[in-house]
């Protein structure tokens, strides 16, 4: 792979990760607007702080590397918030199904990036590795709830995972 094509791939990674962390931030904001369970609210607040740190890192990468951010921010902004708010209105378990599904896709996505980066881009790779571990912690936190009690658990989990995977593919180009 040539240098130009590797740079393009890294810029795509950063664009996707920046958009994904923004989406995660908005999902948690939506959940916090509607969640009733005080214990879950506290845990979501903590997870949201982690996403803010991830977003800040990718914002610096967008600026420092002159990466074009996605043009889909208005869509991501509204859709991610709505997903968070709606799942929280469905109940604590549904909100945690959302978190589990999102974090599962992101952890897998980050692992693919880590593998693709190999020994190149040490600082970027190390941050993505750290963020992947934190996303897995969020997934584990969510899975401490009785997720199968959520309305239409399997459908909800599948739709959210599918939506995340589609968003990753679309944001790569837009």
Q: In this structure, what DSSP letter does residue 69 have? A: P
Q: Could you read off the pLDDT of 33-79 as tens digits, one per residue?
A: 999 999 999 999 999 998 999 999 999 999 999 999 999 999 999 99
pTM: 0.91
As given in the structure block, the two tokens for residue 94 are: 């549904």
Q: Could you read off the pLDDT of 140-170 as tens digits, one per residue?
A: 898 888 888 888 889 999 999 999 999 999 9
Cα–Cα distance, 92 to 146 (Å, whole number): 9
Section 3-7 average pLDDT: 71
- CATH number of the domain at 3-173, please? 1.20.1260
**Contact at 8 Å (CB) between 97 and 149?**
no
The domains of the chain are located at 3-173
């Amino acid at each position: 792979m040539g240098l130009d094509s590797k740079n393009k791939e890294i810029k795509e990674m950063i664009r996707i990760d920046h958009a994904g962390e923004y989406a995660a931030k908005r999902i948690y904001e939506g959940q916090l607007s509607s969640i009733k369970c005080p214990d879950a609210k506290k845990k979501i607040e903590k997870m949201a702080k982690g996403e803010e740190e991830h977003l800040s890192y990718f914002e610096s990468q967008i600026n420092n590397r002159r990466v074009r951010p996605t043009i889909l921010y208005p869509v991501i902004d509204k859709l991610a918030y709505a997903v968070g708010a709606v799942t929280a209105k469905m109940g604590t378990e549904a909100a945690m199904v959302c978190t589990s599904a999102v974090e599962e896709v992101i952890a897998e996505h980050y692992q693919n990036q880590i593998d693709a980066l190999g020994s190149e881009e040490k600082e970027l790779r190390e941050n993505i590795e750290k963020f992947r571990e934190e996303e897995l912690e969020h997934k584990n936190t969510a899975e401490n709830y009785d997720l199968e009690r959520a309305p239409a658990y399997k459908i909800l989990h599948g739709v959210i995972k599918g939506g995340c995977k589609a968003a990753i593919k679309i944001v790569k180009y837009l």
